């Protein structure tokens, strides 16, 4: 036996649409990690759980590649800054020496 089709009024009768539908209800104690958990601790716990879940989706090879990119980026920064520093330090000395070589030939 098939039940009769519901009317629109019946279908939406128990759908939460009023202000009471958006009020926060208290969670059962079993749903939280501890019963005396502060909001900051709860936020930290949930963020850590989300971070771990996200890390579990990344393969080991991808983790190694990401770490390699971080080290390569750091090495590139050190080398680039060293070259810029060496250039700014030795360029005036080199130019001064080259300028002096031209004068000696004229004398």
Specify the number of domains making up the chain: 1
Is 22 a member of any domain?
no
Is 83 a member of any domain?
yes
Structure confidence at residue 96 (pLDDT): 84
Is 50 a member of any domain?
no
Distance CA 79, CA 81 (A): 6
HSE value, Cβ hemisphere, 13 Å, CA-based, for 21: 6
Is 107 a member of any domain?
yes
Is 33 a member of any domain?
no
Is 23 a member of any domain?
no
**How many CB atoms neighbour CB 84 within 10 A?**
10
Residue tagged 């749903």 (tokens): 31
At 7, list the tokens: 């009317």
Structure confidence at residue 13 (pLDDT): 66
pLDDT tens across the length of the chain (107 residues)? 667 777 777 766 666 666 665 566 665 555 545 578 999 999 999 999 999 998 888 898 998 999 999 999 999 999 999 999 999 988 888 888 877 665 555 54
Structure confidence at residue 52 (pLDDT): 92
What is the helix (H) or strand (E) element at residue 32, kind and residue range? none
Is 29 a member of any domain?
no
Is 54 a member of any domain?
no
Kindly report, residue by residue over 83-102, the tens digit of the pLDDT. 999 999 888 888 888 776 65
pTM above 0.85, yes or no: no
Q: Which domain holds residue 65?
A: 59-107
């Amino acid at each position: 036996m098939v039940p009769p089709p519901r009317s629109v009024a019946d279908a939406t009768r128990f759908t939460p649409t009023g202000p009471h539908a958006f009020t926060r209800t208290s969670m059962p104690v079993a749903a939280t990690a501890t019963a005396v958990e502060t909001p900051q601790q709860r936020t930290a716990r949930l963020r850590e759980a989300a971070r771990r879940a996200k890390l579990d989706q990344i393969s080991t090879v991808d983790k190694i590649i990401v770490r390699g990119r971080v080290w390569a980026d750091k090495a590139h920064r050190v080398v680039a800054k060293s070259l810029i520093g060496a250039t700014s330090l030795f360029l005036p000395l080199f130019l001064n020496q080259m300028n002096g070589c031209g004068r000696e030939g004229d004398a």
